């Protein structure tokens, strides 16, 4: 096992879905996977491996924020040889034309985190999605009759922002939404030469003030889950 994952070698599939919420991982295993086996319960961060339409796929929670996803993604890549990492998360829309419950496919991730300043002092790194996963996710979403919004997101270290107006600056640069993990997922995927993508669902809206319930965030958002599963 690794420090935070109790799976034995070979128990994690090459493709893994990564919701922040471990109960969303359990929901996917219970409702979408056949022959699902739990490979991790350390700290309640459930991970499962099973089959979706005959393809072996895993799903694991990552927790919230860059430090937490960084631990799981480092261990999944370095100890378990995971090759395709697909985040499925909730986010807050910063744009009028991106509505609550819309799907966002994150082409790139800006961040207010210092994590890449530590890696690249005095330089900027551009955390970017894998194009083949992105292309397939867009195609799958469109086949389902959806209109996914593709563009950049903000990965923030804060859910509760010191300056409640700061989002407007990011919005003015066309950033679609805010969440808390994608920049680190894309940076680690680049570092280790594996593929990553974030597929997000808008759970709340900075302009209209609309919100979804915690139950909806945990159990619904089926389109996002099905798009991500199709990438397996």
Ligand X SMILES: O=P(O)(O)O[C@H]1O[C@H](CO)[C@@H](O)[C@H]1O
Residues forming the annotated binding site for a purine D-ribonucleoside?
A: 4, 179-181, 203-204
Question: Which residue, chain included where needed, has tokens 């996917």?
Answer: 28
Q: Which is nearer to ligand X, 145 or 209 (CB)?
A: 209
Residue 64 found at the interface with ligand X (CB under 6 A)? yes
Residue 180 found at the interface with ligand X (CB under 6 A)? yes
Tally of CA atoms within 13 A in the half-sphere of 70 that contains its CB: 13
User: Which residue positions form the known binding site for phosphate?
Assistant: 20, 24, 43, 87-90
The least CB distance from residue 90 to ligand URA, in Å, is: 5
* Residue 55: CB atoms within 10 Å: 14
Dig out the tokens for 89 from the structure: 């998360």
Q: Binding to ligand X (CB under 6 A): which residues in 30-59?
A: none
Residue 147 annotated as catalytic: no
The least CB distance from residue 199 to ligand URA, in Å, is: 14
Dig out the tokens for 222 from the structure: 């089926």
Residue 178 binds which of ligand X, ligand URA, none (CB < 5-8 A, kind-dependent): ligand URA
The least CB distance from residue 101 to ligand X, in Å, is: 13
Rule CB under 6 A: which residues touch ligand URA? 90-92, 159, 178-180, 203-204
Distance CA 90, CA 134 (A): 17
The least CB distance from residue 9 to ligand X, in Å, is: 27
Stretch that binds ligand X, among 14-22, 73-81, 110-118, 161-169 (CB under 6 A): 14-22
User: Which residue positions form the known binding site?
Assistant: 4, 20, 24, 43, 87-90, 179-181, 203-204
CA dihedral 75, 215, 143, 183 (to 10 degrees): -40
Among 102, 179, 184, 223, binds ligand X (CB under 6 A): 179
Query: Would you please indicate which residues are annotated as catalytic (active-site) residues?
Result: 204
């Amino acid at each position: 096992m690794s420090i935070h994952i109790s799976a034995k070698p070979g128990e994690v599939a090459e493709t893994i879905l990564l919701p922040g919420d471990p109960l969303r991982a359990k929901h996917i295993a219970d409702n979408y996977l056949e022959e699902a086996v739990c490979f991790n319960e350390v700290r309640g961060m459930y991970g499962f491996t099973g089959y979706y339409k005959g393809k072996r796929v895993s799903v694991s929670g990552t927790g919230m924020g860059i430090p937490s996803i960084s631990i799981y993604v480092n261990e999944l890549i370095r100890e378990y040889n995971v090759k395709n990492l697909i985040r499925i998360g909730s986010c807050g829309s910063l744009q009028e034309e991106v509505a609550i419950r819309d799907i966002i496919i994150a082409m790139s991730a800006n961040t207010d985190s210092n994590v890449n300043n530590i890696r690249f002092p005095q330089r900027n790194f551009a955390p970017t999605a894998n194009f083949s996963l992105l292309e397939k996710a867009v195609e799958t979403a469109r086949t389902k009759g959806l209109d996914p919004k593709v563009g950049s997101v903000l990965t923030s270290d804060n859910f509760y922002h010191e300056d409640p107006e700061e989002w407007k600056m990011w919005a003015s640069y066309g950033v679609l939404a805010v969440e808390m993990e994608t920049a680190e997922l894309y940076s680690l995927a680049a570092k280790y030469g594996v593929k990553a993508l974030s597929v997000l669902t808008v759970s709340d809206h900075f302009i209209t003030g609309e919100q979804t319930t915690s139950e909806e965030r945990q159990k619904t958002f089926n389109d996002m889950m099905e798009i991500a599963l199709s990438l397996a």
